[in-house]
Amino acid sequence: MTKILMTVLAVVYVLDLVTRGLLSGLLIMASNFVYLGQFWRLLTGALISGSLIGLLMNLLVLWIAGRAIESELGGWRFAALYFAGGLGGATIVFLLAPSARVVVTSGAAVIGLLAANAVGKLKTHEDVRADIGLLILLVLYNVLINFSGMGWLSLIGGIVVGALVGYLLAYAPRRSRDVIQVVGLLGVMLVCLMAVVAKVAIV
């Protein structure tokens, strides 16, 4: 699944170049369009990397950490965790950022994987100080390079949702583990969607 996801990110980036931004225009997380009912952007924004540097960073993290995380979780849990992190990033941007904001959420999806991995390490009593430091550095870096772009806010959403889903995956009781994990994962994503729908309804 990691290699498939890496391939998809790369293909989307190339197709976006070929179509001169048409693909990202259809998929990227854009609050104004979500208000119009284009809710798929909450998930598909995680497929957009933005710049070449952003793509390479995503691919590097997925190659180094993604394969190990997938080996622990399995393919479908890994993919679900990735998109849950992206959804978390998109949700917090939609709720808190200016309504005209357009944000790439693949970084939130990737950092969600890292947050979940740190939670898994806590269960096995591994040292997570380096993991926490990395998460903080990534957020601070985004704050410093583009505070007004709100990319840092999406990273916080990815961390929160990634850590929460990671907890559900790591600490689910052995008995009925699959059911608890599926229900918990869907529940977290449903809460995000309900928060978005509630704001749309209020506005």
Listed by start position, the domains of the chain span 2-202
* 3-state DSSP helix/strand/coil % of the chain, to nearest 5: 80, 0, 15
Closest CA to 44 of 1, 3, 87: 87
More confident residue, 87 or 72: 87
Contact 112, 81 (CB under 8 A): yes
- Which tens digit of pLDDT belongs to each residue from 34-49? 999 999 999 999 999 8
pLDDT at 58: 87
pLDDT at 201: 87
Q: By percentage, how much of the chain surpasses pLDDT 90? A: 43
Task: Indicate the pLDDT class of residue 117, thresholds 50, 70 and 90.
Answer: confident
Residues 51-67, mean pLDDT to the nearest whole number: 86
Instruction: Note the pTM of the prediction, 2 decimals.
Output: 0.91
- Which tens digit of pLDDT belongs to each residue from 120-163? 888 888 887 877 887 888 778 777 766 556 678 888 999 999 99
What does the mean pLDDT of the chain come to? Answer: 87
Residues 50-64, mean pLDDT to the nearest whole number: 86
Q: CA-CA distances (angstroms) from residue 140 to 18, 90, 150, 155? A: 33, 19, 12, 10
pLDDT at 86: 94
Closest CA to 77 of 159, 152, 166: 166
Q: What is the amino acid identity at position 177?
A: R
**Is the domain defined by 2-202 classed in CATH 1.20.1540.10?**
yes
Residues 81-90, mean pLDDT to the nearest whole number: 94
